Amino acid sequence: MDRSKLSRRTWLATTSGVIAAGLLRTQADAVRLEAQETPEGLRDPSKVPGRPTSEVGARAPGEQPRRLVRNQNLSSSSRTPLQDLNGTITPADLHFERHHAGVPDIVAEDHELLIHGIVDRPMVFRMADLKRYPCVSQTYFLECSGNGGGAYSRDRMPTDITVQALDGLLSTSEWTGVPLSWVLREVGVRPGASWMLAEGGDAALMSRSVPLDKAMDDALLAYGQNGEAIRPEQGYPLRLFLPGWEGNISVKWLRRLEITDRPTMTRDETSKYTDPLRGGAARQFSFVMDAKSVITFPSYPYALPDRGWWEIKGLAWTGRGRITRIEVSTDGGRSWADAQLQRPVLSKSTVRFRHLWEWNGGEALVLSRATDETGYIQPTVHELWDVRGERTSYHQNHQRAWKVASTGEVTFGLGDLV
């Protein structure tokens, strides 16, 4: 191969308006290229036999994404590295965690689900029973109701926070399970029933009240995640899954459902997961996750190395169905442009959005805002705080912002808007 024929890469505009990234090849690169023909070139991977096949694969040594672990307390969380991921699927071993008494070690063969209360036939189900039912698989997001809420407030507005630390309590999986409605039909829900208590088999006995309407709609008794069995941190061997609702109510390690005629008012829905409002009132049973979007690139601590075209990328989702529009602003919300949505846009799942932006080297404040099929528009931080107050860490789905300095350095920019 005659290397002299290779063009060095330069800025090239194309007719489509898509302008390519040009990173000039340095002299050092050229030297290194030549070195491949020296004895050191034996490191060329095409010159040596590769590794054999294996029963289970592993990531490349240079690709080791990690969840962000906040602490090692019994009640803790870990966050998905949103900045490292493409597309929408979250690898199961990077799905965020939130548990109140650690991850229990459950043997599937020993696990049982009791369904009782206002029913004709109280029953105990084993995993083999549940797996004999017909099942369905759907891709859904799961988000903790506290996602993005605790990391800052009007009084404490960090600039050095990553999208993982801020909004990493969000993940997306293909979930497989039995529609709960099919199982409830079998136990025979009796007239007068209107709620259901869901109880986990962890040491916290995590317990939430679920309106029966949701249980009969799209609720799953889920045992599969991204093709395989649900991971232990996600509720192995069985979790409730309530699409579009706050994560904690999709009770993990599910061991009991009690059909009731009222909410049970458990510790987990009174001492927490209740949202303070302005004026001392509180909103309870705020189940649905409203439309939200986050920008994953550019975000702290990335620094844009040069001016020109960059693709702003992010994720959007809504618990109320489908995202219909994503807009991006690079001037702090004064003007907006429509971003592209990656098709297909699934209901109650994440959608990847992208927007090509020509950075002129000046300061910029980059935001995104989502609209869903109900017409709901992701609010600004002021719009949300005016209603909800800034003292709660739940359901803080307002627009996020990243500030790009003239140096290219990116920092969390919400402080510029507060």
Output 358 or 386, the one with its CB closest to a copy of itself. 358
CB of 50 to a copy of itself, least distance (A): 3
Going by C-alpha positions, the residue among 418, 354, 344, 353 that lies closest to residue 386 is 418
Contacts of 403 (CB under 8 A, 6+ apart): 159, 363, 364, 365, 366, 410, 411, 412, 413, 416
Binding residue for a copy of itself, selected from 232, 321, 389, 415, defined by CB under 8 A:
232
* Euclidean distance between CA atoms 310 and 19, whole angstroms: 9
Binding residue for a copy of itself, selected from 267, 283, 325, 354, defined by CB under 8 A:
354
CB of 335 to a copy of itself, least distance (A): 21
Q: What are phi and psi of 215, to 5 degrees?
A: -60, -35
Q: Which of residues 15-74 bind a copy of itself (CB under 8 A)?
A: 15-16, 18, 20-21, 23, 25, 45-60, 62-63, 65-70, 72-74
Binding residue for a copy of itself, selected from 83, 90, 264, 396, defined by CB under 8 A:
90
* Euclidean distance between CA atoms 339 and 348, whole angstroms: 19
Contact criterion met (CB below 8 Å) for 317 and 289: yes
Contact criterion met (CB below 8 Å) for 263 and 215: no
Q: Beta-carbon neighbour count of residue 148 at 10 Å? A: 24
CB of 29 to a copy of itself, least distance (A): 9
What single DSSP character describes residue 261?
A: S
Which parts of 202-328 fold into alpha helices (H)? 212-216
What is the pattern of x (binds a copy of itself, CB under 8 A) and - over residues 309-348?
Answer: -xx------------------------------x-x-x--
CB of 282 to a copy of itself, least distance (A): 29
Contact criterion met (CB below 8 Å) for 320 and 327: no
Output 31 or 281, the one with its CB closest to a copy of itself. 31
Contact criterion met (CB below 8 Å) for 329 and 379: no
Q: Does 279 bind a copy of itself (CB under 8 A)?
A: no
Q: Which of residues 364-403 bind a copy of itself (CB under 8 A)?
A: none
Site stretch for a copy of itself (CB under 8 A), options 89-97, 142-150, 328-336, 369-377: 89-97
Contacts of 1 (CB under 8 A, 6+ apart): none
Output 73 or 271, the one with its CB closest to a copy of itself. 73
Binding residue for a copy of itself, selected from 41, 124, 307, 387, defined by CB under 8 A:
124
219 Cα distance to chain centroid: 19
Q: Which of residues 184-213 bind a copy of itself (CB under 8 A)?
A: 185-186, 201-203, 205
Q: Does 93 bind a copy of itself (CB under 8 A)?
A: yes
Contact criterion met (CB below 8 Å) for 402 and 300: yes
Contact criterion met (CB below 8 Å) for 133 and 342: no
Q: Does 126 bind a copy of itself (CB under 8 A)?
A: yes
Binding residue for a copy of itself, selected from 165, 193, 211, 231, defined by CB under 8 A:
231
